[in-house]
Amino acid sequence: MRILYFYQYFTTPKGAWGTRVYEFAKRWVAAGDSVTVVTSVYDKSDLMPTSIVETFDVEGIEIKAINVRLSNKHGMLARIWTFLAYAAIASWYAMTLKADVVVASSGPITAGIPGLLGRFLRRKPFVFEVRDLWPQGAIELGYLKRRWIVWLARGFEQICYRAASKVIALSEGMAEGVLQSHPDADVVTVPNASDHDLFGSEDTRPAPEGLDEDRPLALYTGTLGQADDCAQIVRAAGVLNERGRTDIQIVLIGDGKERAQLETMAQDQKLSSVKFTGLMPKTEVARWLRRATCALITFKAVPFTDTMSPNKMYDAFAAGIPIVQTTQGWIKQLTKTENCGITVRTDDAQALANVIESLVDQPLLRAEISDNARRVAVEQFDRDLLSMRMRDAIHQAAQGGLT
């Protein structure tokens, strides 16, 4: 099967971003498929093209890297420009590369443009992967305000759903959102996955520079952006500081548009226990995560974040550490049912501090939740299992032809 995959954020574990496409695609190649990924250059990726388009071979995956630079630090106009520039160049490959099936991964939803060209002009089965509910998220965060832009965005969303032989949703909440918008969509849920090899293996090397192994560690990894609302973590650190719990390290690994504001916030409150490290390769993040007391997952209190499928959660499960998280949807239900983490209400600094303190001071509680986290990683979010689930859906779409 020749799979042509349009995804704008490709990276390997050497980069500082989610590796779902890399991990899935290399397994499909091992299973006998031919996979070409058309991507751009995210500032958290390890791809470094030197020409307008450069071709790489990454463990049998053919990568077409379009030298369009994308960063979540960019303003809205710059981001729209990079989305459209990628879509325009990627459309050439949609029309010229050999493929039995075309997959487009949103967001941004503009990745659907080359996918739709493959569907309608080349008559190839089309699979639409939904990584977040766009444009709903952009509307709720205030990025899309003008009525005519919202109308166009929702109209394009509908076209993508109608054209797709299969829709891949990264959570049950996303699947429900797709079906609310287009009830006839054929939706398969394939969440992000846990990397047991990277995060679950024992690390006998010395602690990473900057980590005090004699002190408990509450760790955040990922984007420091508007939707993540990491100010909740700094406020919780302030509560812990007032209680005299300066023994607890609060470390945020990552970067984003809100980082400078968060650092200023921590400095103004003289929170010496809070540290910002900047970006790290996932291979280095794993060294911190294995040594953490708990992993922090925060999001802004808007409805679409309750459907999120954050990579940082699956990484924490693989590392066997409790998550402390603020979403009120499917992840809240998962942590309750499986006892693999603790949910607090969004923007409740006291509650967030209380849970961190409890996990530090109650080793038996922490051990119980950690064991459940490891179990969930293996039983529900194994990468081999989920990559084959998505492969099966893609093959079904290709074999079913066009409807």
* CATH of range 196-379; options 3.90.1310.10, 3.30.450.20, 3.40.30.10, 3.40.50.2000: 3.40.50.2000
> Which one, of 245, 250, 255, 218, lies nearest residue 234 by Cα?
250
Q: What is the pLDDT of residue 375?
A: 97
N-to-C CA span, the chain: 19
Pairwise CA distance, residues 23 & 1, whole Å: 18
> Could you give the residue ranges of the DSSP H alpha helices within 200-292?
231-242, 259-268, 282-290
Who wins on pLDDT, 120 or 209? 120
Pairwise CA distance, residues 370 & 324, whole Å: 12
Lowest average pLDDT, out of 59-73, 343-357, 378-392, goes to 59-73
**Stretch 252-271: mean pLDDT, rounded?**
95
Compute the half-sphere exposure of residue 290: CA atoms within 13 Å on the CB side of its CA. 20
Which DSSP category does 106 fall into?
Answer: E
pLDDT digits (tens, 9 = 90+) for 12-44: 989 888 899 999 999 999 999 999 999 999 888
- What's the residue count for the chain? 403
Q: What is the pLDDT of residue 198?
A: 87
pLDDT digits (tens, 9 = 90+) for 66-113: 999 887 777 777 878 888 999 999 999 999 999 999 999 987 889 999
Residue range(s) of every CATH 3.40.50.2000 domain in the chain:
2-193+382-400, 196-379
Pairwise CA distance, residues 166 & 107, whole Å: 17
Q: What is the pLDDT of residue 107?
A: 77
User: Is there a contact between 373 and 320 (Cβ–Cβ < 8 Å)?
Assistant: yes
Spell out the residues 6+ positions from residue 399 whose beta carbon is closer than 8 angstroms to its own. none
Confidence of residue 128 (pLDDT cuts 50, 70, 90): very high
Chain center to CA of 26 = 18
> Could you give the residue ranges of the DSSP H alpha helices within 227-276?
231-242, 259-268
Is residue 137 pLDDT above 90, yes or no?
Answer: no
Pairwise CA distance, residues 370 & 323, whole Å: 9
Pairwise CA distance, residues 192 & 310, whole Å: 7
We find that the CATH architecture of domain 2-193+382-400 is 3-Layer(aba) Sandwich (3.40)
Lowest average pLDDT, out of 225-229, 263-267, 365-369, goes to 225-229
Who wins on pLDDT, 79 or 162? 162
Is residue 403 pLDDT above 70, yes or no?
Answer: no
pLDDT above 90 coverage of the chain, percent: 78
- Encoded amino acid at 351, one letter: A
Pairwise CA distance, residues 382 & 192, whole Å: 9
pLDDT digits (tens, 9 = 90+) for 297-326: 999 999 999 999 999 999 999 999 999 999
Is residue 257 pLDDT above 80, yes or no?
Answer: yes
Beta bridge partner(s), residue 355: none
> Which one, of 140, 322, 324, lies nearest residue 226 by Cα?
140
> Which one, of 309, 313, 43, 284, lies nearest residue 194 by Cα?
313
Is residue 116 pLDDT above 80, yes or no?
Answer: yes
pLDDT digits (tens, 9 = 90+) for 210-255: 888 889 999 999 999 999 999 999 999 999 999 999 999 999 999 9
Q: Beta 323-325 vs 341-343: how paired, if at all?
A: parallel
Is residue 396 pLDDT above 90, yes or no?
Answer: yes
Q: What is the pLDDT of residue 185?
A: 94
What is the crossing angle of helices 112-120 and 76-96, to 10°?
30
Q: What angle do CA 22, 26, 29 make, to 5 degrees?
A: 145
The structure tokens listed for 9 are 């954020």
**Stretch 126-145: mean pLDDT, rounded?**
85
Please count the other Cβ atoms lying within 10 Å of the Cβ belonging to residue 388.
16
- Encoded amino acid at 87, one letter: A
The structure tokens listed for 65 are 């890297």
Q: What is the pLDDT of residue 402?
A: 67
Pairs from 178-185 (Cβ < 8 Å, separation ≥ 24): 178/130, 178/133, 181/154, 181/157, 182/158, 185/161
Compute the half-sphere exposure of residue 25: CA atoms within 13 Å on the CB side of its CA. 26
Q: What is the pLDDT of residue 130?
A: 95
Spell out the residues 6+ positions from residue 376 whose beta carbon is closer than 8 angstroms to its own. 317, 334, 338, 340
